[in-house]
Structure formats: structure tokens, C-alpha cells
Structure 1
């Protein structure tokens, strides 16, 4: 088993980093947007002057950017020459398969803007950060339908997150016997495409909003998977599930709602399945004692202040208790990196 992460030990250096976290992120993002990491990947060990020319910046702002990123360990300076740090080379170079650059785009254009209202959201216990996103609807996902750019940023980020994490779903024996799986909140179809490419007998229905299903239909067609991956436009909180299904996948989705809403959704899922049918919850999981890990602790404010005002990144025991309340028999699969885990409930 992967050892449970422990809370940070606070010292002055850590406190400085936390207090300047907004600046640290902007430095990190500037490197993505200006393609600094891309340039350093193609041509490492170059001078400040060369970098300034590549980024089309004056020397003073270039110096400020490079000093900040060097102090954060994101890039390395040796003999006045700059290169990517090893982890930067691995996950911040946008053109590489494992890049998280698009996930950082979600942080920049959605999380960063909405969290300016975090304290207010705590006091009022609602997603007051939604005011940063014009349009109608009480959730971010409804508002994004009115903003094609941010909806695109969001879907690209979720696709990148899926590719990062969903490797574990592709090597999971319990999925081999599933014939018709519903990917609830399946976005642009990334999960469904990957699953059908891996499991020869599986077909997938993407259950999501009409605008998202339109994106999924195009993506599915581009991948040549239209015969096995279909869309089912609607709201899976209220609308009927497709017929003749034997599994429902909730991947990075149940974090949006309150415990009461998730129990109700799981009961609806139970009713939609035949005996032996399965519900699969795949998510980042919080420690049962609410001590972390950092990835979930730092993710929860987004759900409180922006996404819905109801959810968070829940703990293992939260999900297990809800599944039991919905009458599922539960199995836990927790030996996964990136704070991820899988829970399977069987009817």
C-alpha cells in the first residue's frame, strides 16, 4: 500500500511560499503561456539574453521571471545558463504526452479567478465565486455553457487529468466483463474512448449536457470510435439512464455535490442497474482523518467557492458510507499513486 501523506511541517520558508502562493502560481503559469519550458526542452543551457529573445521579452521582465522560477526550483541555473528541472521536463512541457499544462490552464482561467471570493463563500456557505462567470445557472458547469473559451479550457483540462489518472482504469480486471458502461459526466469522451480501446467487448454511453455531448461526438468521430462510444444528452441527476446497462462510472464527478445529493444519485444508480450491476467511483481520495493529502485539501476550495458550493474532495469512508446507504456491496482498491483510488459497488 502507498503510505498516507502527512501534513506539512510549517517553517518560515514554507510560510513564505504559502503567503506568496498566488505569485508562485503566476510565475509557473507564465512559463507555460510564454512557452519557456518548451524552449528549454528543445534547447537547454541557454542564457537570459537568448531566453529574452525567444520569449520576445525585455531583459528586466525576463530576469524577474527567471529569478522567480529558479528560486521555486522549476528551472535550474548553472554558470548563468538555464535549463528545465527534471520534473518540469517531465510534466510541464506542453508538447509531451504526460504534460499537466492544460490542467494549469483550468487553474489560471477558472480556479484562480473564482477563489478571490473564497472567504465570502465560507461565510455564506455558497459558491460566491460563480459571480466571476457571467450567465445563468447555479453551478460552474451551467455557466460554462455561456463561455465557449472557458468551456474549452475546462474540457481540455479534464481530458488531460483523465489521461494522467485513467491509466489505472485500463489495467483493471473488474472492467473486463462489462458490456455497456455509462460514463456519467463523461465530458468529451476521453474516458469512453480509452476504455473501449482497451476492453474489446465494451460499449460506452457518455451521459452529459447537450453542449458537452456535442464536443464528445466530434472527438469520438475523430478517433473512429462512433460505433462503440455514444452520447446520451441529459442531466444524470434527474433524467433516465440508458437502458440495458451493467455499469456506471463516476470519474472525478461526485466531488461536485453534497453528501445527501450523492446518496440520492447512488440510489438512482442502484435502481438503474440489474442485479450484479456495478457502480465505479474513481477519484482522488482524502484521508479518512481529514489530514490531507495536499492534492485533495487544496482541491476542495474550488468546489466550495466556484463549482457548486456543495462539494469537496471527499474521503474514502465518505464514499463507502454513501454506497452502503444505497445498498451496494463495496470493495476498495487503494494502491494507486496521485492520491487516487477506486471503489466498486455491486448490486
Structure 2
């Protein structure tokens, strides 16, 4: 077997591209830490109300700041947030070691203003900060953009896919539905070690066409079907005992994640399994740092974020799933598995 160097550091550089700009926005646009010094500890809900921040992006900001060691966050105390010594000493007005001016010198970066706007409105900015472009999901209707995004997701999956397959080695799978599976790279990885398994990618146009091309290029057109449909408006195909979401749920808000999990529960047979392969925030929302940084990018450009293990377990339980467990993957990814009774 060829020894492949671990590219996790390269994933982190790309996935964390917006993280520094969020901290600059928190310091220069909101002066979050000076406010916390005067009013904290407070609940996250009170912080949002007093500073005029939307819940989703504020949650991402607080997770990131906790991962950096700037705030302490206690979910079991009503999501109470207070400053740490690091935050108090270096990002609060009046401290002799105040670095706010240092961060403020970069406040004119375009992404800083975009992220401040997202924090206040909750509405995502354009994908990759592209000027005068539609929402990223709407842009997938453009074949050229869809092909570019599909190629990007496919490139990411070449390393991550085999690790996903290894994490699922003891999970029984007969027929796998790769929901919004893009190129089908993860379904292909699972099938690589399971010649008896069949699979299908459930994708909307024009991504479905890109998926067919890539699967044919890999010689997998006979093993992995592509079923055209919209996961939010079309019934899920029957006949599959495993539903895989890989890097899908992080693109959507809670109501739509809940809708997808409910749709999977309805379509799966008894004993069927739900698998979420993604970057997951720790249950206490204090890290890991790399995932918290990636969540900033998602918060900036989509209606979603990196969901915590706790949040996903609760939503899966509400949908009716049981035996929820979480396993490590590669490249800061994890695998959450749940079973339909």
C-alpha cells in the first residue's frame, strides 16, 4: 500500500480561511470582550439580545472564542459565557496589554464587514465573497458552478473517503443511499471494500449530471446509480438500509436538518442506519479549534454551521433514532451513527 502523507494541515488552511476575520470583527466591530468584561458572565441568549446578534452566527463565534481560550462557555449552566484571563488581559479596553488596536488595523478587510453583517442579521454572505452573486445553493443551478463545487467536494473525499469506510467496517450495510452525495466519492469508498453492497447517489440537477460523469470515469456507473431528486421536496427513494450524509447537514439550519433526519427515518426500514460524516463540534461547544474555524466559513456562506455532537444526537433522537454513537474519522472529521428501531 502506498504511504500517503496526511493532508489534514491543508484541509485546515482552506477550511479556516474566514476564522481570523471573525475574530477581527468581534474585536473591531463589536468590541465583544470589552462588553463581556463589563457585563459577563451572561447567557448566550442575553449576549445576543444586548449586542443585537443573531443566534446561529453568535453560537459559531462563541464556539470559536472558546476554542481559542478567550471565553469560557458552560452549556450546563444555561450556556453561560464569561471571559478567560487571556481574553481579559489582551482584548479588553484599559488593559496595559490591549491588542484591540492591533486587530483594528485590519478591520477594513472585506470579509470582516461581511462577517459583522452575518453576525447581526443571520443571513449568509455570498459564497467565497463573490460580488453580486446569488446564494450558494441557488448558484448550484448554474452548471459551471455546480461542476466546480462537485470537483471540489470530490477532491476532498479522495483522502477522507477511505477513513469513513474504515470507521464503518463493522456496520452492516446492504444498500447505501448517499444523500446529496455530490460526486459519489464517499459511496465509492464504502463500496470499495464491500463488493456485495449496492449504492445510489441522490442529487438534484445539474449536480446529478456531474456525478454520473465522475462515476463513469471511475468505472462505477454499474455499481452506483444516480437518482435525480431534491432532498427537501422529493420523497426519499425506498430500498436502502443505510442513509449517508457526508458534509451535507452542515450547510443547513436546524429546521432543515430536522426535516432531513425525519425524512430518513420515514424512508429507512426497521434496523436501518443513519450516518453523518462531517466536521463535528464537541458536545460542550469548546472546540476542537480546527472545526470551530471551519464553522466560521460555513456560517459566512451558508445557512448552516458545524453542528455539535450533542445537537445532532438530540435531533436524531427527536426523529426517532436510537443508539447514537460518534466515531473519529480523518482530517478533523467524525462519523455519527444512529439506528432506526
Task: Return the TM-score normalized by structure 1.
Answer: 0.63
The RMSD of aligned alpha carbons is 3.1
Gaps of at least 5 residues in structure 1 are 23-111
* Separation in 2, partners of 1:214, 1:234: 12
Aligned to 2:307: 314
1:292-311 equivalences under 5 Å are: 292-307=287-302, 310-311=303-304
1:328 equivalent in alignment to 2:321: yes
Contact 2:146 2:206 in 1 (8 A): no
* Separation in 2, partners of 1:269, 1:228: 22
Contact 2:278 2:335 in 1 (8 A): yes
Residues 146 and 337 of structure 1, relative CA distance in 2, 3 Å threshold: closer
Residues 8 and 304 of structure 1, relative CA distance in 2, 3 Å threshold: closer
Residues 264 and 271 of structure 1, relative CA distance in 2, 3 Å threshold: same
Identify the structure with bigger relative contact order (alpha carbons < 8 Å, sequence gap 6+): 2
* Separation in 1, partners of 2:186, 2:110: 28
Aligned to 2:335: 342
Residues 248 and 320 of structure 1, relative CA distance in 2, 3 Å threshold: same
- Cα deviation 1:230-256 (Å, max 9, x = unaligned): 111111122111221111101111011
79, 95, 117: which one aligns with 1:120: 117
Contact 2:275 2:336 in 1 (8 A): yes
* Separation in 2, partners of 1:128, 1:264: 24
Runs of 4 or more off by more than 6 Å in structure 1? 112-115
Give, in angstroms, the shift of residue 193 of structure 1: 2.0
Give, in angstroms, the shift of residue 210 of structure 1: 1.3
Aligned to 1:231: 226
Residue aligned with 2:335, SS: strand
Give, in angstroms, the shift of residue 218 of structure 1: 0.9
Contact 1:7 1:292 in 2 (8 A): yes
Aligned to 1:132: 130
Aligned to 2:179: 184
Residues 116 and 147 of structure 1, relative CA distance in 2, 3 Å threshold: farther
Contact 2:164 2:329 in 1 (8 A): no
Contact 2:164 2:186 in 1 (8 A): no
1:213 equivalent in alignment to 2:208: yes
Aligned length: 246
- Cα deviation 1:128-177 (Å, max 9, x = unaligned): 335836565xx4132133261x43442222122222322222222244x3
Give, in angstroms, the shift of residue 334 of structure 1: 2.8
Gaps of at least 5 residues in structure 2 are 1-63, 70-85, 92-98
